């Protein structure tokens, strides 16, 4: 269907990338219609394009937390389920005073110490009135993170949200069951 729409737009002389962008923006939930800077990078990522039609695991992270080793488990989930469409996104935050002051140090923890390859974004607030737009939505539709490494499973439509506290490990049976149920409904 998307190819048909793009083809028709080409016939009318509409620039394809603009057409694709418009198509994506109309089928994406408002809270994902945003571009965020990648962690310690000059590059940005369009969350709508990244997540469109895919189930998503969103996690608020911190470099100096007792739950920081969850990065290895999150990376294992990313590796195991990415071929089934799962998108994992990490949002580093200093809201609980456990994030590095310098993003290069946060990047080192993620990429060097834990081998993270899933999308990590620039440090931002995830709770309260300063929360980024993604976490404002998650807080309204599930719960605000009470600590680092809250996990949010979002269905492929970007609407149904299930929240898990950091006490529920990413490799726990409870979490894996919910994750696989989210994947199977796609």
Rounded Cα distance between 109 and 5, Å, is 43
Residue 11 phi/psi, 5-degree rounding, is -60, -30
Does the annotation count 65 as an active-site position?
Answer: yes
Per the residue annotation, which of 11, 28, 48, 65 is the catalytic one? 65
Residue with tokens 């950091």: 166
The residues, ordered by sequence, that sit 6+ positions from 36 with a Cβ below 8 Å of its Cβ are: 44, 45, 47, 121, 122, 124, 132
Q: Which helix (H) or strand (E) element contains residue 132? A: none
Residue length, the chain? 186
Across the strands, what pairs with 107? none
| Residue 93 DSSP label | -
Q: Would you please indicate which residues are annotated as catalytic (active-site) residues? A: 65
């Amino acid at each position: 269907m998307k190819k048909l729409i793009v083809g028709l737009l080409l016939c009318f002389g509409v620039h394809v990338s603009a057409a694709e962008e418009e198509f994506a923006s109309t089928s994406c939930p408002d809270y994902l219609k945003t571009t965020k800077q990648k962690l310690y990078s000059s590059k940005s990522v369009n969350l709508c394009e990244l997540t469109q039609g895919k189930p998503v695991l969103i996690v608020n992270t911190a470099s100096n937390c007792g739950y920081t080793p969850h990065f290895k488990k999150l990376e294992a989930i990313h590796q195991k389920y990415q071929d089934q469409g799962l998108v994992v996104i990490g949002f580093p935050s200093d809201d609980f005073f456990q994030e590095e002051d310098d993003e290069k140090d946060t990047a080192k923890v993620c990429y060097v110490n834990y081998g993270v390859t899933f999308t990590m974004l620039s440090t931002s607030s995830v709770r309260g009135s300063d929360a980024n737009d993604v976490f404002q939505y998650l807080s309204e539709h599930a719960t605000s993170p009470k600590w680092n490494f809250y996990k949010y499973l979002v269905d492929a439509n970007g609407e149904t949200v299930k929240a898990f506290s950091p006490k529920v490990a990413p490799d726990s049976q409870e979490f894996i069951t919910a994750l696989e149920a989210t994947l199977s409904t796609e």
